[in-house]
Every structure is written in C-alpha cells, then in structure tokens.
Amino acid sequence: MTVLAAVKRANAKAPPESSVALRVAVLVAVEAATLATLAQGVGGVGVRVAATVGIAVGFAYSHWARFREGYALKAALAVGVLLAFANFLSAVTGLSAGAINEVQIPLAELFLWVQFLHSIDVPARRDLLFSLVSSLVLMAVAGVLSTSTALGGYLAVWALAAVASLVLAYRSEVSALPALGRSGTPGAVTMRPRSGALRPVVAAAALVAVVATVVFLVVPAAGAGKAVAFPARLPHRVGVPGVGGLANPSLGGADPQSPDGRTSSRGTGASSFGYFGFSNQLDTSARGRPDDTLVLKVKASRPDFWRGQTFDTWDGRTWTQSDQRVRAITGESPLQIVAPPDEQGVGAANGADFVQTVYVEAGGPNLVFAAYAPAQLHIADSAVFEMTDGTIRTGAYLDQGAVYTVVSRRPAVTEDLLRAAEHDASGTPASIAQRYTQLPASTPARVRELAATLAAGSTSRYDVVRAYEAWMRDNTSYTLDIPKLPAGDDAVDRYLFVDRQGFCEQIASALVVMLRSQGIPARLAVGYAPGQRNPFTGMFEVRASDAHSWAEVWFPGIGWQPFDPTAQVPLAGDPYSSAAGTGLARYLRAHLPSVPAGVVRAGAVAVGVLVPLLTLGWLVLLALRRARERRRRPWPDRMLERLERAGTARGRSRRHWESARRYADVLRVSVFPDERLRAVADVIEAATYGPPGGMAPDDHAMAERLLADAEAAHPVR
Amino acid sequence: MITVADGGARSPGALPRATAAWPRPASVSRPTVALAAVALALFGIARTTGSGWLIVLLTMVAATVALAFVLPAFGLARTTVGATAPRDGTVGRELEVRVALAGGSRAVKLRAVGFDGGWVGAIVPAEGLLAITPARRGVVDVLVIDVRSAAPLGLVWWTRRYSLALPAALEVGPHPTEADVPLPTGDGLEGRDGRRLVAAASDSVRSTRDYLPGDPIKLVHWAATARFGEVMVKELESVASPAVAVAVELDGPDHLVERAASRAAGVANAALRLGLPLVMLTAEARGPRSGPVGSPREVGRRLARAVAGPLPAAPRSAVVISVRARGEREGREDRERREGHGR
C-alpha cells in the first residue's frame, strides 16, 4: 500500500455513530478534562465559554449532523485551528529559551481551543475516541499545572466517563456488525443488547480502580531530575527594603524590616503562621506556635530539610547571625549559586542533583527554602542575595503564588562515609573552625562535662553526634509546653539538666553547643521539616507547624550535614522508597475525617461479627424460603426444572417453547445421550396434563430415580 | 446435530469431543496504540516535571490498557459455543448454521473458518443463524468457528478458535454448471442428446381404440381420428429407459478438478431433470463407489466426497458419461472401458 493510499484509508469517512450514550459519556470525559484545565487558571472568558458551553453544543451539533458530509464545516474548523495556533505563536513569541515553562499556559489554551473545534465535528465513533484520547492529553495538562488535591474530583469523573466511553464504544462496534440472525433472516436483524451497559461499565471501572491502585503503589514516583524547564513565577514583584535584607511580614512587628516595631514591612500584623526563627536572631527562651496553615508545597523526589538560614553565634539564650554581608547573584534564570569557598564541601562537586520546586502558599520570609546545598536557582527575578553561610534571600517578597525551583547538590552521604571522615580538626578550614565553634564563656561547665563524657570513646564525629542524640533521646523529651526560660538561665543547661524537656530549637541548640564544646564545628539551621507527602500531587505539603530547627555539623571532606533527633529525615545516601504511592495510607489517615475510637470499635465489631452473622442468617432465610417455594410448586414443575438443570449443566438449556418431551429428545441426541430421559419426560407430561391423581407416587419416584441414574451415567465433565 | 465446544471442559455426551484452542491476541486497536504512546509520554513528562497527578493518570491508563489486554482472554476462556449445521451445502450458496454462545465475554463477534462470510456480532448469551457460504467442495466433519472479543474495553482483540465436531458431516457439493446430458457415440445413440434418449425411452403407441368418456385429451390420436372419422385414442406400452452412469474422474489440477466436479453435478442434475435413472461412478477416500442417485442432494453428497482415484465398473446396461478433470472425452474410450468392465 502506498503512502497516499494509507493516508486515504486512514481518512476514509467512518460510519456515523448513533449511540447517544457513547456520545454523552465522551462529552462528560471531555468536559471533566476541560474544567480541570480551566481550574488551573488557564484561559480568559472566551476560552472558558468555548471550552464549557461550546464543547457541549458542539457535541450536540455533531450528533445532529452526523450523516452530513460537512466539507465546508471541516474547512472552517481547519481555519479555526490555524487561528488558534497563530494565537499560541503570538503568545509565546518573545519568550526566551529559559522561559520554556511560560509556554505551559498558552499551550493549555491551544489544547482547549483545539478540543472545542474538534467537538463540532465528531460524527463517527472513531472521532469520539479521538476526542477521548485528546481529553486524556488535556487532563495531563491539568495534572502538570495542578498542585492541588482538588484535581482528584475532576480526575475521578473523567476516569469513570472514559471507562464508560470505552465500554460503550466497544459494544457499539460489535452491535454495528450483522447480528446472529433469527430463523430465516440470518444476519439481517439489528442486534440489540439484551442488557444495559451499566454493569460492565461499573465492573470495568471498579477493576481499573483496583489495578490502578496497585500500580500506583509500585510505580516510580514522579521525579524532577531531568527537567528541561522548571517552574518559576513571581505574581507581583514587590522589592524588599534594603539590599539583601531579610523580611518576614508574617512576624508583624518582629519583621526584621519592620519600620515601627509594631507592624511588618508590609503594614500587617503578625500572622498565625509566622515562625520567629525566620529572622536575624532566634530566641530559644520561648517558642511561638505556628498553626497548621499550609505555607509551602515542595515538589521533590524525596524528603529533606527545607532549609532557610543558619545561625552561628550563641549567647546562651539567643542565636544570631554574626555576618550580615550578602553577595548579589544576578543574571538570567537559572542563577548559579556558588557557595563561599569555605562552605564548599568536596562532596558538593560530585553530588547528585536534587530538584525541588517550591510553591509558596502563604506569604512569609524572603528566604529561599531548599535542601542543602543550593547550586542553581530558577526564579522569576534577576537577582538574589547569598549570605556567607550559603543561604539565599530574594530581593522581592515571596507572596502566595510565588514559585521557584532549586537544584541542590550534595553527596550521597551514608553512615560509613561520615564515620570515615577525619575526626580531628586538621581537615577543617580555619574560618569554619573559628566561626562555628564559638561558645559564650557563660556556658555551664556541666554542659561541657556531659559533652566530654558522652564523646569519650567515640572515634568519629558521626559517632559523637549519635552519642549526643542517643543521650537526649533517652533522657529528655520533646514538648512545646514548657514555661518561659527564667532570666539569666542558660537555655541548653536548663533543657539538659533541669526541665529535661524542650522543643526543637532547644534540642538542636543543645546538640550544637555540646559539639562545639568538643571543638566540632556546628551551627543551628532553621527551615521546615519535609512535611507530609501528598501521594497524588507528589508534593510535600509543608505547614507552618513544620517550622523546625536542627543542627548542621561540619565533616571534613564532606561539608555540612544536618542532624536532628526529632525529625525523620534520611541521609542523602540512604535508600528511600521511590514508589508513587509512598505514604498513601498515612496521607489518607491524616485527611479522612477522624472517627471516634468508640465508633471504630463498633465498626470493627460490626464488620467482624455482625456482618458475617447477618449474612449467614440472610443466606439461611433465603434457602428456607426457596425450599418452601420449591415444596409449594407442583411436582412436574420441580421435575422439569431438575431436567433443565441437568441439561443446562451439560451445555443445552431448554428453550421456552420446548415441551418436556421435545427437550428430552433434543438432549438425547445431543449433550445427554440417555434414553431414560424420554421416560422421565413422559412422566412429567403425564403428571402435567393427566387427570388429577392420575399418577401414582411410585411413578414420581421412578422418574426421579431414572433421572438420577442418567445423570450418574453421564456426569458433567 | 448440536455440538458444544468449550475448551474440553465439558464433553457433549457421546458426541465426538469438541475442542477449543487457547485464546490468542488478534489485534490491537488504534486507540490502544494512542493510549500507550500517551502513557509513555506521561511517564516521561512526570519524571521530568515531578507532577504526581501525571503518575496517577499514568496508573489509570496503564491499568486500563493492562485490563484491556487480559480481560478478553479471560472472557473467551469461559465462553462456550454450540452449533448445528445442515447436512448439505453447495459451493457458492449460502447456508445457515445455528450457533449458540454462552458464558464469558458479553459482546463478541464470530465467523466460520473456511467459509465465505464476514464477522457477525453477538451479545452473549445468544443463539441465532450464522450465514456462511462454502467456498470449497468437500466434507466438513469439524466446523471451525472463530470467536473474537475485546470486551469490555474494546482495545485489544483476542480470538479463540472452536473446533466443533459435527455429529453428521456437512457435505458440500460443487456448484453445478448448466449442462445437458451428452450421449456417447455408438450403440445407435450417435447424434442424440439426452432429450432424444428420453423420447426414445418413453412410452410407445401399441394400438388405437375408440374414445371413451374420461380419456385424457392428450391420448387422442389425431391422425387415426382423421382417418376413421371418429375420435380415436392411443393405447400405450411403457418402455424402460436405459440408466445413465456419470463417471467422475477427478485426477488433475485443483481448478480443473473443481470445474469437472461442477460439470458432473450439472450433467447429473440434467439427467435427473429428464427422469433418467442415474448412477454415479466416483472414487472416495474409502475406495471406488458406484450407486444410483435419485436427487440433486444425493448428487451433491456424492460429489462432496469424490476424490481422485480408480472408478468402479459401470452397470452393464448403463450409458456411461465420463466427466474428467483433464477434459471430457466421450465415445469410444468410454464404450471400450464399459465393455472391458463388462468382461
């Protein structure tokens, strides 16, 4: 077949599809995908009207005009597609190569226009299936754009409609064939399904759901390591006062940029989700309690600390950043982040890329939150500022809707690697050792003594860290409910020896102070714990209450490594389940409505005891009722039914017009070749049509025995 | 004549065991290819954008395609087929096979293998007539039916082949060509065709008599009536017609063999139409066969079973008409052979 012939064949007019059910199912799928895409903020009024009302009208018109040739319409639609494509080209013209991500929205609009235009000309089943596939593409577009679980509703509707469409299309295809004909008219009658398509649709949808769930649990999670373009968006660029300064409007008067000490730099008060650690200093004497406001969504392939900044100077109660110098990093996105020379661990050079896209859900500090150590920043701004500890501040406020992507790089560190690192100070740069082993003279001696005692015998820094963590785990506990630190008390001393309770800032401070007392460089890092992974969006949902602080310890030849006894964060080299469904059960438990324990127990009792009992009782009642009904029926009916069962079991059911004798004759010459069947049928018919009481009970017994013998002689195989 | 095929799980009583092959993939629809391509693209995009929803979507597509691959096989594995077929068929003439389907896949299409005729659809359970047209002459002991299903999702088609051993074979005779009864030379029959042979063999006038009320008008002897001036009728005497023996030699290339079979059927049917006693001389797989044939149906059956091979001797009194795959030759050779057979 030549290419031209193949093209002609592929474009040959297909027979019109007259199944309204199929058309409606496809329309529902298309509309679900369309609405899902529109829900991501795609398109103006024109696109929205065309994609909602227009598609429905288009489908209705297609059905009405399905028998028409419609060459003029096809030409008009082709022009429409060209116009939509021209509109797309004009929207993307001028975008730089680095802004490929900006193409997503115009591309989604183009898809919507094409979907609308196509809906006007879908006369055949083939066209409807094409629409279904294109709705899948549209749903994928929505999936790429969505960062919300709300897409699940659209997806569920789309999936159900898509399965229904496939089932209905198949049945329509089979029904369009010549049917097995009735007598005398082979192939001439139109086949009508004896039953509706609801059951196969429901069964297929249920099966797809089950299999999809299983696949979801094992399929690799979405990664972001090989992307050609990373999302970056800054909805409204408002510059932070002061070059490279830290601003945190969520702290209200505690905002480092607060002009009057009462309201934030944005003129607002403190927010319920503000974390006091995102400031120039961190007071460990009291901890504010951020609520559960969703502040960030982080798209990443594995959990990590979303690090904001570090503190280096400790005075016994408060951490401060001693060095506020910043270095401006300018240029086009992506901005290359080069850590200060002393901050660079040799492992960073050969570390694997770890991509995180951060979606800001609540306006907070202008800190770039990312796993250590950021190497590349995709942000819709031309400049950011790097602190001397390698942390990044933006030049603009990061309001809700801001998106940036960070490519971090750190070596795949394992316990063995950390243990192998040099224990003595010889491998530590002097500037690191000097800056990050600072302790105030007021540090209580018992803190130093405890640190020395616990470190005794440890041959590596890693073992020292683990020894401290183990002691704190065994001897202290985590709580947010502790009284404010009395004036003059050392926060670490009080935590270790008095309260034996503390929150993360105190626990991490204790670890840093003890390490420093042994000459091991360490610092306090603040940021967010990984948050809970949403298995559907593949994003870590970070809430204000995930604000966290932990210790970073310098390992010669490796660099800074985070340690925290309260957060379950694996080392970079630790294995991590990469299945898409990881954390699904935990996520569902956390987000499904909580049920009181009593109700759960009652439910368990119901499921475990009552349901089986009730089911058993129902089955017994059913059996009794059937037995009663059977007994009430005349003997010939019961016997004919038994004959039917015997025949059906062997492959030939009784036609409704067949008498007992005729049926027995058919069985005798086909699937049940036993002459006794005729005698059985004779008795049945005699009992049916004979005078009442004309049959002796012996005749009944004989017929039953004959049938039993015949069945035994010709067992079902 | 019902037989059931269900993969050997059940045997239809004492009938020959019907067998069914395992379902096998038949074809993948274009939407499946499109879905697979989109799924691959989804995976690639998901891996590069980190979109979890794409993975969810991908799992749905993968589950759908996976189920579309396996469910038809499961359905067909549980589908049983029963069929009844007529005893007789003719090449090129449509006949009806009654087919019953039960269990397994809900919507299927089916066709008989080795016959002309396209797919027909059925919503299972179903029973109805399947129109088939035999394409070749022969004896069909086993009716082979392909049942194809892609249920319920319609993306991947699977086929299962059911071999239904017929209790009574379907005998497909050749399509008879229009023919007269050519008579061999010799025996004083030169130049006569079959009609003259019949005329020669029909009733002859023995005498005439006076007309009696009730005599049919066709017995009026018009010449005698004219001569005697009174209505005279014929008194007839019946004369037995000689038997015609059609000798069918099917040794030769296939297309000539089938042409000869059709020609033989035409000649035999023409002889039957003329009311001639007919004997067919054929070779069958079991050996030479000679016997009287009384109807076109019997002609078809005899020719359905006819193969190349030695023919039996013709009855002594029969007029032999030889039909050969390599060309019909009549006359001396036939007579010589008949005489030879007679010796």
Cβ separation B50–A208 shorter than 8 A: no
Of A141 and A5, more confident = A141
Alpha carbon distance A347, A262 (integer Å): 44
Can you give the pLDDT at residue A223? 65
How many angstroms separate the Cα of B247 from the Cα of each of B175, B201, B241, B242, B286? 17, 21, 19, 16, 17
Task: For residue A549, give the H/E element and its range.
Answer: strand A547-555
Contacts of B167 in chain A (CB under 8 A): 669-670
Confidence of residue A350 (pLDDT cuts 50, 70, 90): low
- Which of A180, A536, A669 is nearest residue B130 as measured by Cβ atoms? A180
DSSP state of B183: P
Reported as a single tens digit per residue, the pLDDT across A594-623 is 666 677 677 777 777 877 888 899 999 989
Work out the number of other CB atoms within 10 angstroms of the CB of residue A583: 18
Q: What's the pTM value of the predicted model, to 2 decimals? A: 0.71
- What is the secondary structure of A576-614 as a DSSP string? ---BTTTTHHHHHHHHSPP--HHHHHHHHHIIIIIHHHH
Cβ separation B130–A185 shorter than 8 A: no
- Which of B13, B49, B110 is nearest residue A224 as measured by Cβ atoms? B49
Predicted ipTM? 0.75
How many angstroms separate the Cα of A190 from the Cα of each of A193, A679, B133? 10, 41, 21
Alpha carbon distance B299, B244 (integer Å): 13
Share of chain A above pLDDT 70, in %: 89
Q: Is the peptide bond before A334 cis (omega within 30 degrees of 0)?
A: yes
Contacts of A180 in chain B (CB under 8 A): 99, 110, 120-122, 126-130
Cβ separation B53–A170 shorter than 8 A: no
Alpha carbon distance A161, A166 (integer Å): 9
Reported as a single tens digit per residue, the pLDDT across A195-210 is 567 888 888 999 999 8
Contacts of A125 in chain B (CB under 8 A): none
- Which of A143, A176, A193 is nearest residue B51 as measured by Cβ atoms? A143
Alpha carbon distance A544, A532 (integer Å): 12
Cβ separation B109–A215 shorter than 8 A: no
Which residue bears the tokens 């069914």?
B20
Confidence of residue A707 (pLDDT cuts 50, 70, 90): very high
Reported as a single tens digit per residue, the pLDDT across A17-63 is 989 999 999 999 999 999 999 998 888 888 899 888 999 999 999 99
* CA nearest to B106, candidates B61, B60, B65, B153: B153
CB pairs under 8 A between A and B: 257
Alpha-carbon Rg of chain B, whole angstroms? Answer: 31
DSSP state of A182: B
* CA nearest to B81, candidates B45, B105, B62: B105
The answer on pLDDT for A114 being more than 60 is: yes
Confidence of residue A691 (pLDDT cuts 50, 70, 90): confident
How many angstroms separate the Cα of A413 from the Cα of each of A348, A369, A553, A575, B50? 11, 21, 13, 11, 23
Confidence of residue A358 (pLDDT cuts 50, 70, 90): very high
Cβ separation B10–A129 shorter than 8 A: no
Alpha carbon distance A174, B154 (integer Å): 9
Contact yes or no for A135/A28 (Cβ under 8 A): no
Of B203 and A383, more confident = A383
Can you give the pLDDT at residue B4? 44
Q: Mark the ranges of chain B whose per-residue pLDDT is less than 70.
A: 1-19, 183-204, 237-242, 327-343
Can you give the pLDDT at residue A493? 92
Can you give the pLDDT at residue A479? 80
Can you give the pLDDT at residue A614? 86
Can you give the pLDDT at residue A627? 84
Reported as a single tens digit per residue, the pLDDT across A551-601 is 999 988 888 888 886 754 444 455 555 667 667 777 777 776 666 667 767
Contact yes or no for A387/A342 (Cβ under 8 A): no
Alpha carbon distance A543, A528 (integer Å): 8
Least confident of A652-666, A671-685, B190-204, B237-251: B190-204
Q: Across chain A, what does the average pLDDT equal? A: 84
Can you give the pLDDT at residue A500? 85
- Which of B42, B54, B153 is nearest residue A166 as measured by Cβ atoms? B153
DSSP state of A53: I
Can you give the pLDDT at residue A653? 83
Confidence of residue A215 (pLDDT cuts 50, 70, 90): confident
Q: Break chain A down into helix, strand, coil percent, rounded to 5.
A: 45, 15, 40
Query: B39 CA to chain A: closest CA distance, Å?
Result: 10
Best mutation site among B33, B49, B108, B158 for testing chain A: the one with the most A CBs within 10 Å? B49
Mean pLDDT of all residues in A452-467: 90
Query: A629 CA to chain B: closest CA distance, Å?
Result: 28
Contacts of A219 in chain B (CB under 8 A): 55, 58-59, 62
Can you give the pLDDT at residue A162? 95
Contact yes or no for A667/A650 (Cβ under 8 A): yes
Joined together, the tokens standing for residue B295 give 């109807």
Confidence of residue A157 (pLDDT cuts 50, 70, 90): very high
Cβ separation A175–B155 shorter than 8 A: no
Can you give the pLDDT at residue A185? 42
Q: Is the dihedral of CA A613, A617, A622, A627 positive or negative?
A: positive
Reported as a single tens digit per residue, the pLDDT across A518-536 is 999 999 999 998 888 888 8
Residue of A nearest to B57 (CA): A140
Which residue bears the tokens 């392939």?
A301
Can you give the pLDDT at residue B104? 76
Cβ separation B129–A182 shorter than 8 A: yes
Alpha carbon distance A423, A411 (integer Å): 19
Strand blocks (E) in chain B: 3-5, 19-20, 24-28, 80-84, 88-90, 95-102, 107-112, 115-116, 120-123, 126-134, 138-149, 156-173, 204-210, 232-237, 244-249, 278-284, 287-293, 319-324
Query: What phi and psi values does residue B27 have, to the nearest 5 degrees?
Result: -160, 155
Q: B203-221 burial, b for 16+ CB within 10 Å, e for fewer?
A: eeeeebeebeeeeeeeebb
